[in-house]
Structure 1
Amino acid sequence: MNRFIKTVICAAAITTFTTGCSSKETSTDESTGDKVTLNLYSTVTSEQDQKTIKNVVKKFEDKYPEIDIKENYPASEYEGMLRVKMAANDMPDLFDTHGWAINRYGEYVEDLSTMDWVKDLDPALDQILKDDTGKVYAYPLNQAKDGLSYNATLLEKYDIKPPETFDEFMEALEMIKEKGKGEVTPLWFAGSDKSAFGQYFDQFATPLLITADGNSYKKELLDGTFDWTHYTYLPEKLKEMQDKKLLNVDVLTAQNQQMADLMAQNKIGFIVGGGVLGPLIEELNPDIKLGVVPMPIIHEGDKQSWIGGERHTFAVWKDSKVKDEAKKFLEFIAQPEIVKEIAEGTSLPAGLTNTESKNYYSDYYEKYKDIKVEPYFDRVYLPSGMWDPMGASGQELLSGTTTPEAVSKKMGEEYTRLLDQIK
């Protein structure tokens, strides 16, 4: 997360990108003088995460002074820049696949399956970073395990257990509303950013449509025959939350940078996702403790799951003229001590299993270590381009300009339109 200064520069990194910059100028040269130059592009936006990567890069450059790494952190411009580079077949030597290693960047990446670190790849990432042929698409710096983040101090005070089902989640929100006497928002959204609602729909779509026997529509979503009326439950519940005053009153104008400050003031019960928020809250108010719980189930008989996969990665461009040097960098950061440094510096679980690391949420990850990690819904089951309309539909719904049924209808139309474009 962006370090906030103590409130302003941070929380956009929790759910979305903010304006970023590079510590070095971008270069397309493969060498500068006697040095080999690697261009590295990352989606990392938070100050702490960038500091972690910069420190690792410096250690690598100190060990291999003949190699210079030019780091680039384009933030919200990242996807646009990479699309232009893909079109020109002029990719960075190392780049972040940010959840799209196979489906978006697959044809541009070097197969890394013969590298030594692959034996230590966390099996939870296999379906995200490997294909059926065994090709490995990227090196994972860390991995996401998203669920519901909550104010553990507040829930303990109110004697509320972390919810395991959606019904329990709604009951918990009602109890926070009652016991908070208007001082605490049960479920808070930074709704000026449509990604906040995209996160809600994306994370809850998995227990609604994927993981439960008898209510799994994997095949239909993948072959284009899905009936989008099955999706209506999610906008219905979001609207119900608003009608019952379980959301922040400024839900459509609230901004990401407010989130940490309000949580540190004990004014928020739950947020969707937000797994990187804890260390900042500890810094702002060490008396407030956050927890994280896997996604509540929606259908009886289902099991809870984390939503996640890769968070940040480095892939190697298959046509890079400095592939050997790029792979040398991956070998360097795959050392156990560097794996640990990156995991702890970014407050996320490591992508490799060759070390043990501790972060703010380690006790929760250990508690729920047997919970399966399901990939982000949109990355597997939706065509590229669905994120924006998915998030925008939440804004339209809560502004009163559409209905839950119309949300599902619009999602179906966008889904069909985008599928047709790639046929």
Structure 2
Amino acid sequence: MKKFVIVVISLLVISVILSGCSKSGGSGSGSGKVTLTLYSTMNTDEAPKFKKVIADFEKEHPDIKINANFPGEDYEKLLRVKMAANEMPDLFDTHGWAIKRYGDYTADLSDMDWVKDMDEAMKPILTDDKGKVYAYPMNEAKDGLAYNKKLIEKYGITPPTTIDDFVKALETVKEKSNGKVTPLWIGGSEATAFGGIYDLMATPLLITDKDHDYSKQLLDGSFDWSHYDKLSELLKQIKDEGLVNKDALTAKGTQATQLMAQGKIAFAFISGSFGPETTALNKDVQVGLLPTPAFYPNQKPVYTGGERYTVAVWKDSKHQKEAKEFIDFISQPKYVKQIAELSSLPPGLTNVKVDNYYSDDYNKYSDSPIVPYFDRVYLPSGMWDVMGKTGQDLFSGAKTPAQVSKQMGDEYTRLRKQNQ
């Protein structure tokens, strides 16, 4: 009997000890530390710089560890799986879909100090009419057409502001370089390269010209997709005239920086850190960033903007307090500046001035409107993949421009019904 009592008492003591450990450890190992899981869409060049910011945070907050993940092209697939299982990371990047895709999974950040400094352009993208703030904007996307400044000047080309001038510029590069310089380079082994081009050009074609504004029809589902033909016809013309790299379907996006640094590329629809990374390889090459050229007379070229890198907090996280501490930390002016500069983009907050790589171009084209990404406003979730894949099909010859538009229309209709 005594042995039985001793065993029971021993088990109770162990149970109390284990219970105490589990309560104090959060998601840690019983040491009192909390581990926050963070997922970001930052690329392989930017992630190491962001990790240094994370290390600074961990140094100042020794009881909080950040488990940072940068899955690249697999990000969206991974997050969809996590949403389906309702097992989201404590901190995650909404990459353009703060409200439409991730809204039901995000905690409200409206009580945080940095909110008062949020750029006005970001407010309709990251807040709703009830005042909820869905994510913290680490920077503000501003995408367009990259070009080799010295090369264009060498060939006597004025940076194009219309699509007609853009095509003429490509033809001039091909002629004056004797085919040694690729006029337009596309790393199309990944469908996202084609998706990005269609997305940037669709806005000036279909939205921003008052006589060719189909925004209402795109939003209510009545859009005639034959209007989309012109984008594919333009890309087909560029391909047929040899104004794009022959390996556009197999080239990898990671090749672009090296090729631009070697003076082998004139234009590319690549933004962000592409410019500074190129100049880091060859200081004699300076990359400019133009707004997407206009399709119609009297139409201004446009930059495409919105969310680039954000941090949202999972509404069901057990560590919302610690997650918000991390956001508080990176919203300090010192880190706002660092993060904006690592991505060569404007900051999402207005209390910091950043002189980044493309500042001269942003100032030169300051009268060009900044418009939201076409797919994020006008297309149902899932259409990004369709845009990219149909672009690959166009370049491979598997589809004509009309067939591309038909597939876009069919998928648009199907996905609208599916998402309702």
TM-score (norm 2): 0.91
Q: Secondary structure at the match of 2:50?
A: helix
Residue 39 of structure 2 corresponds to residue 41 of structure 1: yes
Question: Does structure 1 conserve the Cα–Cα contact (< 8 Å) formed by 2:135 and 2:312?
Answer: yes
Residue 243 of structure 2 corresponds to residue 246 of structure 1: yes
Aligned to 1:386: 383
CA RMSD of aligned residues (A): 1.5
Larger Cα Rg: Structure 1 or Structure 2? 2
Within-5 A mapping of 1:62-81: 62-81=59-78
Amino acid of the residue matched to residue 240 of structure 2?
D
Aligned equivalent of 1:188, options 182, 185, 189: 185
CA distance in 2, matches of 1:222, 1:213: 16
Aligned to 2:3: none
Aligned equivalent of 1:58, options 36, 55, 78: 55
Aligned to 2:93: 96
Question: Does structure 2 conserve the Cα–Cα contact (< 8 Å) formed by 1:275 and 1:292?
Answer: no
Amino acid of the residue matched to residue 408 of structure 1?
S
Deviation at 1:243, TM superposition (A): 1.5
Residue 342 of structure 2 corresponds to residue 345 of structure 1: yes
Aligned to 2:18: none
Amino acid of the residue matched to residue 169 of structure 2?
A
Amino acid of the residue matched to residue 284 of structure 1?
L
Within-5 A mapping of 1:10-409: 30-32=27-29, 33-47=31-45, 49-409=46-406
Offset from partner CA, 1:372-421 (integer Å, 9 cap, x none): 22111111111111112211111211222211111111110111111111
Indicate the larger mover: 258-267 or 309-318.
Answer: 258-267
Aligned to 1:12: none
CA distance in 1, matches of 2:343, 2:193: 21
Deviation at 1:36, TM superposition (A): 2.1
Question: Does structure 2 conserve the Cα–Cα contact (< 8 Å) formed by 1:184 and 1:267?
Answer: yes
Question: Does structure 2 conserve the Cα–Cα contact (< 8 Å) formed by 1:40 and 1:71?
Answer: yes
Equivalent pairs, count: 395
Question: Does structure 2 conserve the Cα–Cα contact (< 8 Å) formed by 1:149 and 1:275?
Answer: no
Offset from partner CA, 1:225-269 (integer Å, 9 cap, x none): 111011000000111111111111222222223212221121111
Q: Secondary structure at the match of 1:39?
A: strand
Q: Secondary structure at the match of 1:71?
A: strand
Identity over aligned residues, as a percent? Answer: 56
TM-score (norm 1): 0.90
Amino acid of the residue matched to residue 67 of structure 1?
I
Offset from partner CA, 1:186-214 (integer Å, 9 cap, x none): 11111222211111111000001111102
CA distance in 2, matches of 1:261, 1:356: 30
Question: Does structure 2 conserve the Cα–Cα contact (< 8 Å) formed by 1:52 and 1:346?
Answer: no
CA distance in 2, matches of 1:382, 1:332: 35
Offset from partner CA, 1:80-109 (integer Å, 9 cap, x none): 221122122221111010111111000110
Question: Does structure 1 conserve the Cα–Cα contact (< 8 Å) formed by 2:302 and 2:369?
Answer: yes
Structure 2 stretches lacking a partner, 5+ long: 1-24
Deviation at 1:66, TM superposition (A): 1.8
Q: Secondary structure at the match of 2:210?
A: coil
Q: Secondary structure at the match of 2:212?
A: coil
Structure 1 stretches lacking a partner, 5+ long: 1-27
Q: Secondary structure at the match of 2:211?
A: coil
CA distance in 1, matches of 2:119, 2:361: 18
CA distance in 2, matches of 1:258, 1:301: 36
Amino acid of the residue matched to residue 32 of structure 2?
D
Amino acid of the residue matched to residue 164 of structure 2?
D
Question: Does structure 2 conserve the Cα–Cα contact (< 8 Å) formed by 1:149 and 1:270?
Answer: yes
Offset from partner CA, 1:44-91 (integer Å, 9 cap, x none): 1223x1122211111111112122221122222222221122122221
Q: Secondary structure at the match of 2:197?
A: helix
Deviation at 1:370, TM superposition (A): 3.7
CA distance in 1, matches of 2:81, 2:379: 22
Say which structure is richer in helix: 2
CA distance in 2, matches of 1:89, 1:252: 36
Amino acid of the residue matched to residue 139 of structure 1?
Y
Aligned equivalent of 1:417, options 389, 392, 414: 414
Question: Does structure 1 conserve the Cα–Cα contact (< 8 Å) formed by 2:108 and 2:134?
Answer: yes
Question: Does structure 2 conserve the Cα–Cα contact (< 8 Å) formed by 1:217 and 1:226?
Answer: yes
